[in-house]
Amino acid sequence: MPKHIVRLIMSLGIVILLVIGSKALFTADSFGVYGHYRANAVPEIASDTPKYKGPDYCQLCHSERHATWSAHRHGKVKCEVCHGPAGEHPATGKLPIPSDTVKLCSTCHEAMPARPAAQPQIVVSQHSGTQACIACHNPHAPRIASSGGSDR
């Protein structure tokens, strides 16, 4: 056999050995137990504590606010959308009270052609300028009662 073919086969052999070797070395232990994935990933994910608890959890301690909130149109916007994920609250401290309401509320209410018409929209610069939205609106019962109509 010509020399250069022998060298080619030898270097190919080295590459194959390297591939087999690194596969044995770097594949996680539980890979392939159930299928083409790392079996230990399943209990790892299952043991994670959820960061978002949902409004029913808040009701346990903030029942009055929960009652106001659920009776109004923001009852569809979950508490943690505005206050952030509860995690281990209250053990880990208070949840933040959003301070920049112009930014927070505009995320959902700034008028955009692509938004569903059912979602109330305003042009913030014409509606209230740079004023904080909570100067006039209660975030948990956003309709301004004095403007007439029902409080819903």
Give the closest residue to 141 by CA, choosing from 131, 133, 152.
152
Burial of 45 (0-12, 13-18, 19+ CB in 10 A): exposed
Structure tokens at 52: 């978002």
Query: Does 115 participate in binding ligand HEC (rule CB under 6 A)?
Result: no
**106 belongs to the binding site for ligand HEC (CB under 6 A):** yes
Our finding on whether 122 is near ligand HEC (CB under 6 A) is yes
Q: Is 61 in the site for ligand HEC (CB under 6 A)?
A: yes
Residue from 31, 38, 104, 111 touching ligand HEC (CB under 6 A): that is 104
d(CA 24, CA 20): 6
Q: What is the 3-state secondary structure (H, E, C) of 125-145?
A: HHHCCCCCHHHCCECCECCCH
Q: Which residues contact 64 (CB under 8 A, 6 or more apart)?
A: none
| 125 part of the interface to ligand HEC, by CB under 6 A | no
Q: How far is the CB of 149 from ligand HEC (least distance, A)?
A: 7
Residues in contact with ligand HEC by CB under 6 A are 53, 55, 57-58, 60-62, 65-66, 69, 73-74, 76-77, 79-83, 86, 89-90, 94-95, 97-98, 101-102, 104-109, 118-120, 122, 124, 127-128, 131, 133-137, 139-140, 142-144, 147, 152
